[in-house]
Amino acid sequence: MIDKNAFRNLSYGLYLISSVKDGRPVGCVVNTFAQVTSDPPQVSIAINKDNYTTQGILESGMFEVVVLHKDAPMEVIGTFGFHCSKDFDKFVDIETKVSSQGITYVAEAGCAHFSVKVNQQLDLGTHIFFVGDVIEADIIGEIEPMTYAYYHEVKGGRTPKNASSFSTDALEAEAGSAPEAASSGKKTTRIGWRCQLCGYIEFVDELPEDFVCPVCGATREFFERVEVEVEA
């Protein structure tokens, strides 16, 4: 038996990964960045094969990491976590810099930056595990880093479907977690609108035409009407 709730006790951060694909910058959000060794300094990430950023890392053999801080705007997380770099330029209207490897990375919303050259990779089925040498590292802010728990519990964030920690069980639990004053033990059905990009649900009978997802920034056309069973 595997109780998936056990994984919620693991501690993660939240990181913006960027690389280059076909000559242009690509990027996404991961929560699996970790230090592997200190001498020499090596780090690792596990990233979904379906991410366009993964193809950039495979093509270039390099990636950049920005450690997000606690005050990072949800708009930045939404842009990099719930859109595809193949179809969407995530670096427009955001402050960026170029590393010594020649790769663009986000220069805002972070507290530290690492530039990494891949030296090993392992196929994990749905994901690829990259290990690399840190060739550049610097502090870019003094606000403490955001934990994955803080992202969910304080900022109300959702988990992208390509994330290593994504669980359909968790998504269903989030969908049914409408705020209630007290539980009577009975079930009722509520009308809601689910974002097809990030899974966020807005509980309202009719969604306004100008509605924008507070998590990923998706507009109304990306929402579908759903009926969710919740405790009365």
The verdict on 59 and 101 lying in the same domain is yes
* The pLDDT value given to residue 158: 61
* The pLDDT value given to residue 9: 76
Any idea which residue has 């990491």 for tokens?
Answer: 65
CATH of the domain at 41: 2.30.110.10
Query: Does pLDDT of 42 surpass 60?
Result: yes
Q: Does residue 164 lie in a domain region?
A: no
The verdict on 188 and 97 lying in the same domain is no
The verdict on 203 and 148 lying in the same domain is no
Mean pLDDT of 29-57: 95
Q: What are phi and psi of 193, to 5 degrees?
A: -125, 120
Q: Does residue 225 lie in a domain region?
A: yes
* The pLDDT value given to residue 201: 85
Query: Which of 92-96, 179-183, 202-206, 214-218 has the weakest average pLDDT?
Result: 179-183
119, 103, 138: which is closest to 26 by C-alpha?
A: 103
The domain tally of the chain equals 2
Share of the chain above pLDDT 70, in %: 84
Q: Does residue 181 lie in a domain region?
A: yes
Domain range for 20 is 4-153
The verdict on 34 and 143 lying in the same domain is yes
Indicate the burial class of 222 (C-beta count within 10 angstroms; 0-12, 13-18, 19 or more). middle
The verdict on 86 and 182 lying in the same domain is no
Q: Judge whether 191 and 205 are in contact, CB under 8 Å.
A: yes
Give residue 54's identity as a one-letter amino acid code.
Answer: T
The verdict on 218 and 138 lying in the same domain is no
Q: Judge whether 118 and 45 are in contact, CB under 8 Å.
A: no
- Residue ending a domain, among 121, 153, 185, is 153
* The pLDDT value given to residue 176: 42
Q: What one-character DSSP code corresponds to residue 206?
A: S
Q: Tell me the sheet residues that pair with 47.
A: 128
Mean pLDDT of 147-152: 79
CATH of the domain at 220: 2.20.28.10
Instruction: Provide the H-helix boundaries in the chain.
Output: 52-60, 74-81, 148-153, 168-175
Q: Does residue 158 lie in a domain region?
A: no
Q: Does residue 22 lie in a domain region?
A: yes
Mean pLDDT of 202-218: 87
Q: Does residue 82 lie in a domain region?
A: yes
The verdict on 46 and 97 lying in the same domain is yes
Taking the CB of residue 6, how many other CB atoms lie within 10 A of it?
A: 8
* The pLDDT value given to residue 171: 42
125, 151, 174: which is closest to 31 by C-alpha?
A: 151
Q: Does residue 166 lie in a domain region?
A: no
Give residue 18's identity as a one-letter amino acid code.
Answer: S
Angle at 98 between CA 95 and CA 99, to 5 degrees: 130
The verdict on 51 and 82 lying in the same domain is yes
The verdict on 124 and 60 lying in the same domain is yes
Question: Is pLDDT larger for residue 231 or for residue 37?
Answer: 37
Global model pTM greater than 0.95: no
Question: Is pLDDT larger for residue 75 or for residue 37?
Answer: 37
Give residue-wise pLDDT tens across range 162-187: 555 444 444 444 444 444 444 456 77
The verdict on 36 and 141 lying in the same domain is yes
Q: Does residue 160 lie in a domain region?
A: no
- Residue ending a domain, among 86, 118, 153, is 153
Residue 6's pLDDT band (cuts 50, 70, 90): confident
3-state helix, strand, coil in the chain (%, to 5): 15, 40, 45
Q: What are phi and psi of 12, to 5 degrees?
A: -130, 165
- Residue ending a domain, among 93, 120, 153, is 153
201, 127, 214: which is closest to 162 by C-alpha?
A: 127
Give residue-wise pLDDT tens across range 61-110: 999 999 999 999 877 888 888 778 888 899 998 999 999 999 999 999 99
Share of the chain above pLDDT 90, in %: 53
The verdict on 10 and 98 lying in the same domain is yes
* The pLDDT value given to residue 189: 86
Q: Name every residue whose Cβ is closer than 8 Å to that of residue 60 and which is 6 or more positions away in sequence.
A: 19, 20, 21, 103
The verdict on 181 and 95 lying in the same domain is no
**Mean pLDDT of all residues in the chain?**
84
